[in-house]
Chain A
Amino acid sequence: MYSYRTILGVLIYILCGHSVHAIEQVYLEPEIFIAQSFDDPPEQKILWLTKEVKVAIKAIIGHDYPGLRIRYWQQGGRTAWILEEIGKVKPITTGFVLEGDEMCAMRVLIYRESHGWEVRYPFFTDQFTGLRLDASNRLNKPIDGISGATLSVNALTRLSKLALYLHRKTQAQ
């Protein structure tokens, strides 16, 4: 029984040594992400999910995207999007910045799964910089996964294709 007391005491010491204040799983506030993505305040716009767009979205992510429209932010040829997709059981809120025909940055803003925390760190998200879509809506390079976070990685890969498609759609308008 001595082991219980000693071990519990050590654990309590460790727990108390940390900053014990509740911080959400919000790694980056969406508003701050948008502000950081542009030099000047961007113009907020709306992309309506018309029938044509819905069909294309479903082909990309495998299901309908919820809502009647998607908000995005634009300054010149640069756009930013905040999109969500379910990883294992909960949605992952992700921000994308695109310019020209490629992705400039990807950030996981809110993560709600029990595993797969690695997806929010630069050693994983840096892979998304420079992503492009070919004519068949396929990515120009593979995304290396994370063991134990396969579903989250797959969800972020789908979202990146969606962001590239939506960006291309707005540039064509």
Chain B
Amino acid sequence: MKRPSIITVWTVCGLIWMPLLCFAQAASNELPSAAEMWRIIQMQQQQIEALTALVQANQTEVSSTRAELAAAQTEVARAQAEASTAIAELKATQQQVEATTLAVEAFGENHFSMPGWFERTSIGGYGELHANFNSGADNEIDFHRFVLFFNHEFNDWITLFSELELEHSVAGDDQNGEIELEQAFIRMDWSAHFNTDAGVFLMPVGILNETHEPNTFYGVERNNIEKYILPSTWWEAGLKGSYRTANGFAFDTVISSGLDLDGGDGYIRSARQKVSQATNDEAALAARVKYSGIAGLEIAASVFYQDDLDQTGDADYSGLLSTAHIDYSAGGFRIRALYARWDLSGDITADAEEQYGYYIEPSYRWNLSEYYGDLGVYARFSDYEYYKKGLQENKVYEIGLNYWPTNNVVFKLDYQDTNDADQYEDIDSVINLGVGYQF
């Protein structure tokens, strides 16, 4: 193998070393100086120090945050504990309030621990003051009725109903007034549909005889048909049975003490004995059928029969009372009409054999406001004949108004034309004022 020449060697070396020398030269040209290196190092040192400080600051902040978080967690735990305590206290308070309320309610119901009878006894009443301004006669003012009800429930099906009345303010000898026991009966509710009344009770006739509180009818004075023909207020002693149906029918039957009518007098109203040491030789029978199955409507008819009306006298005559009425209201409009007649048969004056009467009464009631109450106007025509020492023939025309500031209080004003009425004699007309109440 031929040996390479020196020129070739040197050429090859040169070719090799020339790039290296060039590279080295280039490299020796980019290297910073020592001062620059020191400056760079210092800059880097500053950056390191800054970064270190930043890291330290972050570490501090993290530590603080951790501390705050721990404190917050502690606070939350404490608040939860307090809330639990508050909830427990609230529940305890609610239980205390419930117990207190029950105790207060029971205390109130027991009426301060009064005996049980007090809870089952109730008191009510009504009253009315009348002022009559008569054209042709003296005027009059009179507290006509002061009435108290006393009711007592012996148990859930036996009840006492009673009514005591003072008429004309003062009772006694030579006084105008009377104290009367109008009702005192024991009601027994045998079923939801049937009950009996035993004692002194109002006869089931007419409209006003059983319901006559002053705020329930128009006119200061009660209508004359029910006063002189029925004769309201009429009560007897005996036994009454009442049966009601779900479709609005009611049936009443009565066996009771009777009237005692002096034949010569023939005045039905005076025949009421009022169960005051009353003669009881003749029982009386009464019956009524009533329908009120339509809201606002009442239709009824009743009969009363007594075989001998003159119990204490020598005359012998029977008496049959027949009545019928309708009472209808729709909204503010109302109409009442009633017919009643006595047929007396036997040893009685001819003029007294038939005594009858009827009235018709339309009315309208407005509600003024919830606060001021209601105002009503009415008109009534009454035509009636009754016997009192002679036949009394009467036609009365009247108009008037009622004002109810509240349902249980009433003020009344009416005008009666009595010019065609025998009973009023010289009185041509009457203006009546009245105030009444019920509670």
Contact = CB atoms under 8 A, between A and B. Distances in A.
A137 interface: yes
A3 interface: yes
Given A7-B255, A25-B156, A88 B298 contact: no
B161 interface: yes
B241 A14 contact: yes
B156 A24 contact: yes
B424 interface: no
A136 interface: yes
A32 interface: no
B241 A151 contact: no
A87 to B, nearest CB: 10
A11 B239 contact: yes
A114 B296 CA distance: 19
B285 A7 contact: yes
B190 A22 contact: yes
Interface string B276-312: 0000001101000000111110100000000100000
Contacts of B331: 142, 144
Contact of B123 (A14, A19, A24, A89): A89
B248 A11 contact: no
A117 B191 CA distance: 13
B329 interface: yes
Interface stretch (A33-41, A50-58, A62-70, A74-82): A62-70
Nearest to B407: A154
Given A25-B189, A68-B104, A89-B151, A151 B408 contact: yes
Contacts of B241: 11, 14-15
A22 B189 contact: yes
Interface string A151-172: 1001000000000000000000
Interface in B301-337: 307, 327, 329-332
A125 to B, nearest CB: 9
Interface in B197-219: 207, 210-211, 215-216
Contacts of B108: 66-67
B283 A121 contact: no
Given A67-B105, A138-B370, A89 B122 contact: yes
A45 interface: no
B426 to A, nearest CB: 36
A19 B187 contact: no
B222 interface: no
Nearest to B439: A89
Given A4-B283, A89-B122, A115 B295 contact: no
A42 interface: no
B157 interface: yes
A19 B246 CA distance: 17
B248 A18 contact: no
A135 interface: no
B153 A24 contact: no
Contacts of A90: 122, 151
Given A144-B295, A144-B296, A146-B292, A11 B255 contact: yes
A140 interface: no
B196 interface: yes
B246 A69 contact: no
Contacts of A150: 211, 215-216, 407
Contacts of B122: 89-90
Interface string A111-152: 010110110011110110000000011100011111110110
A26 interface: yes
Given A23-B191, A25-B189, 15 more contacts: A15-B196, A18-B190, A19-B190, A22-B189, A25-B157, A88-B124, A121-B293, A122-B246, A142-B332, A145-B295, A145-B296, A146-B296, A148-B207, A150-B215, A151-B407
Please list the 7 inter-chain residue pairs (A to B) with the smallest Cβ-Cβ separation, ordered nearest first: A144-B296, A89-B124, A24-B156, A144-B295, A147-B327, A89-B122, A147-B298
Interface of A: 3-4, 7-8, 11, 14-15, 18-27, 59, 62, 66-69, 88-90, 112, 114-115, 117-118, 121-124, 126-127, 136-138, 142-148, 150-151, 154
Interface of B: 101, 104-105, 108, 122-124, 149, 151, 153, 156-157, 159, 161, 187, 189-192, 194, 196, 207, 210-211, 215-216, 239, 241, 244, 246-248, 250, 253, 255, 282-283, 285, 292-296, 298, 307, 327, 329-332, 370, 406-408, 438
28 contacts: A7-B255, A11-B255, A14-B253, A15-B196, A19-B190, A19-B191, A20-B190, A21-B190, A21-B191, A22-B156, A22-B157, A23-B190, A23-B191, A59-B370, A67-B105, A88-B438, A89-B124, A115-B210, A117-B244, A123-B248, A127-B295, A144-B331, A145-B295, A145-B329, A146-B292, A146-B295, A151-B407, A151-B408
